[in-house]
Copies of this chain bind each other. A is one copy, B any other.
Amino acid sequence: MVETSGVDTTGLRERKKQRTRWALTDAALDLFLAKGYEATTIDEIVAAVDVSQRTFFRYFAGKEDVALSILREYDQVFLATLDDRPGDEPPITALAAAIHHVLDSVRSADEEHTDRFAKIRDLVERSPALAVSQLRYFSEMEQQLAAILARRMDVDVATDLRPTLIAATFLTVIRIGFDGCARDGLFQPDEVASRIEEVFAVAAETLPHAWSAR
């Protein structure tokens, strides 16, 4: 899982592309960490990898994307795992199991990946612009997640609000876990993972009580 370094089942062309992509990503992350996200220009990033600016924008949709596009891989793992959970499970159980699996796969990945994970967590906390981008990623995720939950619950996502509500609330809890890690300076996968578990537990205890007391 979280297979990133493209396997060489492909041609030379594809391998070269993967290499440039990772080179750009790593150069960008290091520059962002060294001198700040805002203060780093695209020109500096492409200079470090020795490609043209035009090429950069063929790989990434924008400056934010170079840092956050990696997150989509985790999203894919999460959604795939969720899809594999037994259909008779209550939504919250399936969600908890899926997020648990993703965090485990991050934790057990090789150093190269865990490093990048820590760097991104660090960056998102330091740069307001990246924090906003992360919100956009979460909101894209919300829609996909709601669709999957609707299928599991066998209802229409357009008319029944419940899958959307559950998806959004779940992602909110996860996001707050990440935010808390950032605030406390926890960037390593295992630290983040245990914090997420903790927030999830507090939420499971707090939210039902808070909402029923209306």
Contact = CB atoms under 8 A, between A and B. Distances in A.
Contacts of A172: 165, 168-169, 172
B213 A92 contact: yes
Contact of A202 (B136, B162, B202, B208): B162
A93 B165 CA distance: 19
Given A172-B172, A176-B161, A214-B92, A166 B132 contact: no
A99 B165 CA distance: 18
A149 B136 CA distance: 26
A135 B139 CA distance: 9
B207 A211 contact: yes
A90 interface: yes
Copies of this chain held together in the complex: 2
Interface in A147-193: 158, 161-162, 164-166, 168-169, 172-173, 175-176, 180, 183
B161 A213 contact: no
A9 interface: no
Contacts of A203: 161, 165, 211
Contacts of A168: 172-173, 175-176
Contact of A212 (B91, B164, B208, B210): B208
Given A135-B135, A135-B136, A204 B208 contact: no
Contact of A161 (B91, B158, B180): B180
A199 interface: yes
Given A207-B211, A208-B211, A211-B207, A202 B135 contact: no
Contact of A165 (B135, B164, B206): B206
Interface in A107-153: 131-132, 135-136, 139
A96 interface: yes
Interface of A: 90-93, 96, 131-132, 135-136, 139, 158, 161-162, 164-166, 168-169, 172-173, 175-176, 180, 183, 199, 202-204, 206-214
